[in-house]
């Protein structure tokens, strides 16, 4: 691909990086979306998000690395995906938004190391599930 073609469609290097980040975030959202569309309860939605993210990271380690190395975790496309996942966790319960945000953020922030160490997705789900429960009543 010529430089002129890249500049015509993407502008500059930042435009190229942005386009790559958008593609990676889109694939991540697709991996999670497959399970999330079938999930009907908060625990099932959490399971779908955890399993989708960890499966994506395992299958697409290079893409995940590019996302991290290029500042993609702060990309507006990922902010939108995170907001949809938080909304999904809160869909049918009076769940505090901050708790849902913490769970999603913890997952995205630690998914790479967890996959590299072979952490069981069920263990991740079990660790995040208490964040979604309101234990202030007792």
Q: What is the pLDDT of residue 83?
A: 97
Helices (H) and strands (E) counted in the chain, each on its own, are 7, 0
Q: What is the model's pTM?
A: 0.88
Q: What is the pLDDT of residue 138?
A: 43
Digit-by-digit pLDDT tens for the chain (138 residues) are: 666 655 555 556 667 788 889 999 999 999 999 999 999 999 999 999 999 999 999 999 999 999 999 889 999 999 999 999 999 999 977 788 999 999 999 999 999 999 999 999 999 999 999 988 866 544
| Separation of alpha carbons 39 and 15, rounded Å | 36
Half-sphere CA count of 128, side-chain side, radius 13 A:
30
Burial class of residue 13 in the structure, from the number of CB atoms within 10 Å of its CB (0-12 exposed, 13-18 middle, 19+ buried): exposed
């Amino acid at each position: 691909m010529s430089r002129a073609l890249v500049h015509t469609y993407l502008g500059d290097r930042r435009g190229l990086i942005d386009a790559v980040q958008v593609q990676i975030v889109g694939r991540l959202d697709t991996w999670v979306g497959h399970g999330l569309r079938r999930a009907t309860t908060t625990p099932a939605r959490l399971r779908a998000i955890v399993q989708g993210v960890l499966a994506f990271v395992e299958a697409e380690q290079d893409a995940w690395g590019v996302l991290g190395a290029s500042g993609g975790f702060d990309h507006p496309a990922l902010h939108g995906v995170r907001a949809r996942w938080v909304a999904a966790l809160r869909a049918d319960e009076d769940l505090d938004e901050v708790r849902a945000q913490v769970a999603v953020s913890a997952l995205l922030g630690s998914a790479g190391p967890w996959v590299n160490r072979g952490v069981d997705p069920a263990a991740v789900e079990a660790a995040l599930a208490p964040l979604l429960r309101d234990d202030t009543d007792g």
